[in-house]
Amino acid sequence: MKSNRKTILITDDDAGIRETLSEILDTEDYEVLQAESGDRAIAVAKSRHIDAFLLDMEMPGMDGIEVCRALRRMDEYQSTPIIFVTGIGEDRGLEDAFAAGCDDFISKPPSAMILVARLNGHLKRMEYFQRLERARGALRQYLSRRTLEMVETASMTGVVPPPEERGIAICFTDIRGFTAFSEELEPGQLFSLVSSLLAEQVHVIHAHGGYVDKFGGDGVMAIFDGPDMVLQSCLCALRILDSVQLRHADASDTIRSLGIGIHTGRAVIGNIGSPEHLDYSAIGNAVNLAARLCGQAEALSIVVSKAVRDAVVNDERLYFHSERSVSIRGVREPVTVYALSRPT
């Protein structure tokens, strides 16, 4: 079983001071380590996980200020409590200590009560920070990149960003006949299969600078923005089809019946819902048309709008063909669409 005891490293060139601090910390449930020099402290920090550092400021060779700066340059110790316990007065050492990145400054000889209270306080704040980081890491798995950015902005400013209208490229994917196919599988098998298919698509979408707006059963709604949004959405769609054909060559026809639709246009992106539950998404006719174009795509094909084709028609990596006019539910006039594939 992993121990929950916190490990404290005391660094001081005076063995007597190290023992005194160790005796003070013996009243708490800490694992106490000692280092007689700055170099030794860095070596211990690299070989062991340290939860807090008690540093002397003046030591031969590598002094406490240098040790503090070196620790802050290490990813694992950028927010770990570092407390100077030093004989240098605050008038001389305080500014340098905090400039180096320390969390606290205690003059020698330290009061046992003050040392323990401050150390415990810093460790509790560290635990709180770590919980927030774990929660943030979990949110990354559930929220799109843009949604997470919006949430972080709102948390820092206290203001939820208003909806904005901007140009985007929207890509929908969907498996033809998946509803009927799902009736043939056990729920566990179906869940595993869908999860695997979606994971592949998410990886490709992120690799092309897009983000997942939402999952829709067996498909994905992805959004691309920026100057190359249309091109990247098209390259992404082609790579998704490549992945399906290569990784699922022996799978059933249904699994390999992915269809993709892409459109570009202006949409409103913002928070939808109530204060109790919000969804950060894009809405508008451009989004609706992209979804309808996905419905027009046959197995292992990509259907794009004329707006998409016109935006990137000169790119040699793309081949647009099979122009046709289709009637789209909710759109008055027929819509011109093209099939997208790689050049032969």
What number is the average pLDDT over the span 79-92? 88
Superfamily of domain 6-142: Response regulator (3.40.50.2300)
Specify the pLDDT at position 117.
94
Q: Which residues of 153-190 are buried (b: 16+ CB within 10 A; e: fewer)?
A: eeeeeeeeeeeeeeebbbbbbbbbebeebbeeeeeeeb
HEC secondary structure over 217-270: CCEEEEEECCCCHHHHHHHHHHHHHHHHHHHCCCCCCCCCCEEEEEEEEEEEEE
Q: What percent of the chain has pLDDT over 70?
A: 95
Tell me what pLDDT residue 75 has.
92
- CA distance linking residue 241 with residue 257, whole number of Å: 10
Residue located via tokens 């009243």: 27
The stretch 286-301 carries a mean pLDDT of 93
Pair 23, 11: CB distance under 8 Å: no
The size of the chain, in residues, is: 344
Is the confidence at residue 249, as pLDDT, over 60?
A: no
Q: Outline which parts of the chain fall under CATH 3.30.70.1230.
A: 159-341
CA 149 to chain centre: 10
User: What average pLDDT does the segment 271-296 reach?
Assistant: 88
Residue with tokens 């993709």: 260
Confidence (pLDDT) at 255: 59
Segment 77-96 mean pLDDT: 88
Average of pLDDT values for 200-207?
Answer: 92
The bridge status of strand 6-11 relative to strand 52-55 is parallel
Rounded Cα distance between 17 and 74, Å, is: 27
Model-level pTM greater than 0.75? no
Tokens, residue 49: 């996980």
pLDDT higher than threshold 60 for residue 130: yes
Question: 1 pLDDT exceeds 50?
Answer: no
* pLDDT higher than threshold 80 for residue 180: no
CATH code of the region 159-341: 3.30.70.1230
Using one digit for the tens of pLDDT, what is the confidence trace for 134-151? 877 777 766 677 777 777
pLDDT value of position 252 = 53
308 neighbors 234 (Cβ within 8 angstroms) = yes
Domain with CATH 3.40.50.2300 in the chain: 6-142
How many CB atoms sit inside 10 A of residue 197's CB? 24
Mean pLDDT confidence for 147-172: 83
In this predicted model, what pLDDT tens digit does every residue of 230-240 receive, in sequence order?
999 999 999 99
pLDDT tens by residue, 8-50: 999 999 999 999 999 999 888 899 999 999 999 999 999 999 9
